[in-house]
Amino acid sequence: MCQYSSDDGFANDWHLVHLGSRATGGAGMVIAEATAVVPEGRISPQDLGIWKDEHVDFLTRVAEFITSQNSVPAIQLAHAGRKASTRRPWDGGGTASLEQGGWLPVYGPTALAFTESALTPEEMSCEAIARITQAFADAASRALKAGFKVVELHGAHGYLLHAFLSPLSNRRQDEYGGSYENRTRFVKEVTIAVRNVWPDELPLLIRLSATDWVEGGWDIEQTVRLSLELQALGVDLVDCSSGGSKAGAVIPVGRGYQVSFAEAVHNAGVLSGAVGLITEPDQADEIIRSGKADIVLLARELLRDPYWPSRAAKALNAQHTLPKQYERAWL
């Protein structure tokens, strides 16, 4: 979950405590928030970044602490695309002006704004696409240097990679638009570039919006097809979310409402992660035991309770190692 708490992309004590507390709370893996691979790829001026070598030092502290708590440090690499340069939620949202730290232009596959009040993106040239592909690879190299053991590519929620996938936001007429093969080209090129610098023995994940929830948009059938193709390119697991490409899309939000997408990907033979209003230990346990997904990924529930994994282990009578400092509280 984005923390909107960075200055010039740098991690700080907030990130160390925020992510570290989830590690001490028993999470098997802790994924740092959407981390921008270029400065113009931030959602807000306060987003975390990994676009320059100077970002590595503090991120190393974060990764080392997570590791010391017997958890796996992971990081999500992202580019916000046409949804970039916005104000933080508690600053009211909407477009961030230049005086508020925003920037111009923002970029997308096509010059289509997300909403009438949002910035209209500049259509990316093929040279710009190649530059961002390299930026993802460079960011992965920095993540490795910082000590992260898992990288996740953010290809969901209407951000840049998803914007290329969805026909709702991609109206290009060149080799990056139109057909399924063309719309998925950028994501595949980024995957190949990252896998080339990310060690074979370390997992590479991708987060996909399995559906736009809009007729004629990106859907679960295309997601399954892409998941199989990305698996062949070195992706180890698909984190199955949804939505974000169309403002006002009708989404049937409810308990575990996105689990079926992870199940479809899992049934196709690709490891999948389930997300979406998974809040109770027995619910998470059932998803794994029934084979609907291979892992459960928590976001808002871990914001509410960083010690949810430890409570879940106790509720399910599962073996679990607590920090020595906390053991007496769980007797």
Q: How many CA within 13 A on the CB side of residue 245? A: 30
Predicted local distance difference test score (pLDDT) of residue 321: 83
Categorise residue 62: left if φ over 0, alpha if ψ from -120 to 50, beta otherwise: alpha
pLDDT averaged per 10 residues, the chain (length 331):
98 98 96 98 98 98 97 98 97 96 98 96 98 98 98 98 98 97 98 98 98 97 98 98 96 96 98 97 97 97 96 92 87 66
pTM of the model: 0.97
pLDDT of residue 331: 66
Backbone torsions φ then ψ of 286, nearest 5 degrees: -65, -35
Catalytic residue among 159, 176, 180, 257: 159
Q: Summarize the chain as % helix, strand, coil (round to 5).
A: 40, 15, 45
Q: In Å, how far are 21, 28, 137, 262, 310 from 192, measured between CA atoms? A: 33, 27, 9, 23, 37
**Pairing assessment for the beta strands 29-36 and 295-296 based on DSSP bridges:** unpaired
- The tokens describing 187, both together, are 């994501």
Q: Which residues of 246-269 are buried (b: 16+ CB within 10 A; e: fewer)?
A: beebebeeeebebbbbbbbbbeee
Write out the H or E segment, with its range, that includes residue 30: strand 29-36
Interatomic CA distance for residues 261 and 276, integer angstroms? 10
- Give the tokens for residue 278: 């998974």
Q: Other CB atoms closer than 10 Å to residue 151's CB: what's the count?
A: 25
Q: Is 326 a catalytic residue?
A: no
Q: How far apart are CA 29 and CA 314, in angstroms?
A: 18
User: Tell me, what's the pLDDT at 329?
Assistant: 85
CA dist., res. 61 & res. 12, Å (int):
10
Structure confidence at residue 74 (pLDDT):
99
